[in-house]
Amino acid sequence: LVSFEEDRIHGVLSTYAGSGFKVAYLSEDEQTELRDEVMVPYFLSEEVGDGLLGAMQVIDDEVTADATASLDTYRQLNAVVGIPGATLILLATFGTAIFQWRRHGDDPDLVDSPSVLMAGPPADMTPPLATVLREGRATGNALRTVLVQLAGSGLIRFRNLDRAKEVKRDDDPDPETDPAIDLPDPPLDQSAPQGPLGEAYRELVVRGGSSRTLSRESLWGVNEGLDPIKRQLEQEAVRLGWLTRLPTPVIRKWVFAGAGEVILGGLSIFLGFSIPMSGLTLVGIALIAGGLVTMAFGGQMSKRTPNGAYVDAMLKAYRRTLEKTLAQAHSMAEVVTDPTIRVLADTPDKAVVWGVALGLHREVGEVLARELADPQTRAAAQASGSYYPMYLGSAASSSDGSGAGSGSLFSGSGIPDVGGMISTLGSIGSAPASSSSGGGFGGGGGGGGGGGSSGF
């Protein structure tokens, strides 16, 4: 490209070569030499035609058969890498993920139906183990259930549970409003908990120290301290013959493998734009897609045994029954009158724990709210001994029941949101965020053909 000034002698001369031409025939340095040593001298001598012919001769000399063959070879290699290569990678990653899921995550076929009932509680079944069997591994819900079971047994009590998600790490300590866990003296007529539940209780006692209270830093480390309980629960599920193997190590292995594929895919795309080589870009896209599929299947690499699948079906049936009973009941005492519910939960405390274990904490909270909000139900409950899980906090009370639904600066209602309180148990043992946080972003670019300009 030539752009002359008004004198028709001086101006700017530009050349450009595509990425393949630049690599195979004429690099940017060689283009600069072509402009400055061949074309510009002719242009300054007002011999533009000779300058263009000289440039064409230089280019013709550079475009050799060997260079063309080399360029064709690289183009063919790029095509092979891009189309068959990317396709094979996609099939390999997809196929491996599905094959491994069939080995480690595909449960035995068992038809689930509302007609399936729990004839009797399985041996050694506990609420935390139920969460492991239902979810396929021990998660934060298992630890939440452990804490609620310990609280229902009178071994721990929560304070200011509804503040767990509001307190920031850099807030000033306030013993009156900060969330905390108290460890009262255990009931004399109650034996010490065993198994994972006992391990969790002993961990809390150690963290509570002489004050038998977990607050601030000691409370924020609870989830990390109780993390080994997850493995113990999974080991117990394997020992009972409900799971084929420990699920978390297998899940972690394949999720990490999928993440590795995504990282390799990103690197391949980066190289594809940097070289540039479009085939590597296609390979990168295939690796990222395969990695995402591997991660998705990896998260499901938990396999129940035939017996475990049967027990899981019974738990689903029990959950359906408990959910319907909670929807119709006006008090927790009414819930445990159902013979089917009493199979696993024969007291209101146990019904609350099983509700949490089966993901029905919101429904449990609604029953308790109805009991506290309805004057007639509350009066009848008080006459027979009202139930409220005091370990979650104190229940709202009123002499005549007025104001139960009115709001204030402190909360929207005097009736405790038990379901919300239980939901916060997943965060009460983790360090909260600070009052402020920041972030940023960046960007980059790629490459391709190239050339340059010369003045004359």
pLDDT at 439: 44
* pLDDT one-digit tens code per residue, 305-350: 999 998 998 898 899 999 999 999 988 889 999 888 988 999 999 9
pLDDT at 49: 87
Contact 146, 325 (CB under 8 A): no
Q: What is the mean pLDDT of residues 392-397?
A: 51
CA distances from 133 to 105, 112, 129 (A): 13, 15, 6
Q: Which helix (H) or strand (E) holds 344?
A: none
Q: Where are the alpha helices (DSSP H) in 275-338?
A: 278-298, 306-328, 332-335
Q: What is the mean pLDDT of residues 169-196?
A: 81
Q: Are both 236 and 376 inside the same structural domain? A: yes
Q: Are both 132 and 55 inside the same structural domain? A: no
Q: Is the peptide bond preceding residue 196 cis, with omega within 30 degrees of 0?
A: no
CA distances from 200 to 144, 149, 204, 249, 350 (A): 11, 11, 6, 21, 18
Q: Which of 47, 63, 79 is the last residue of a domain?
A: 63
pLDDT at 71: 79
Tell whether 92 is covered by a domain. Answer: no
Furthest C-alpha separation in the chain: 114
Tell whether 152 is covered by a domain. Answer: yes
* pLDDT one-digit tens code per residue, 360-378: 988 998 888 887 776 555 5
The Cα 35–Cα 29 span in angstroms is: 10
Q: Which domain holds residue 160?
A: 127-244+304-428
What sign does the CA torsion over 132, 136, 137, 143 have?
Answer: negative
Q: Which of 63, 87, 109 is the last residue of a domain?
A: 63
End-to-end CA distance of the chain: 13
Tell whether 295 is covered by a domain. Answer: no
Q: Are both 234 and 327 inside the same structural domain? A: yes
Tell whether 184 is covered by a domain. Answer: yes
The Cα 426–Cα 207 span in angstroms is: 18
* pLDDT one-digit tens code per residue, 48-57: 888 888 888 8
Q: Are both 205 and 316 inside the same structural domain? A: yes
Does the pLDDT at position 415 exceed 80?
A: no
Q: Are both 54 and 137 inside the same structural domain? A: no
Does the pLDDT at position 194 exceed 50?
A: yes
Tell whether 106 is covered by a domain. Answer: no
Among the residue ranges 261-265, 299-303, 404-408, the one predicted with the least confidence is: 404-408
The Cα 391–Cα 150 span in angstroms is: 10
Angle at 442 between CA 439 and CA 444, to 5 degrees: 165
DSSP string, 214-281: EETHHHHTHHHHHHHHHHHHHHHHHHTTSBSS-HHHHHHHHHHHHHHHHHHHHHHHHHHHHTT-HHHH
Does the pLDDT at position 454 exceed 70?
A: no
Q: Are both 396 and 322 inside the same structural domain? A: yes
If one counts the domains in the chain, the total is: 2
* Nearest Cα to Cα of residue 164 among 368, 435, 429: 429
Q: Are both 345 and 202 inside the same structural domain? A: yes
Tell whether 81 is covered by a domain. Answer: no
Q: Are both 169 and 315 inside the same structural domain? A: yes
Does the pLDDT at position 69 exceed 80?
A: yes
270 CA to centre of own chain: 26
Does the pLDDT at position 409 exceed 80?
A: no
**The two structure tokens encoding residue 97:** 């993920």
Q: Tell which wins on pLDDT, 112 or 362.
A: 362
pTM of the model: 0.73
pLDDT at 146: 93
Q: Are both 38 and 143 inside the same structural domain? A: no
* pLDDT one-digit tens code per residue, 79-105: 999 999 999 999 999 999 999 999 988
Tell whether 440 is covered by a domain. Answer: no
The Cα 225–Cα 11 span in angstroms is: 75
Q: Are both 135 and 235 inside the same structural domain? A: yes
* Nearest Cα to Cα of residue 190 among 331, 339, 349, 361: 349
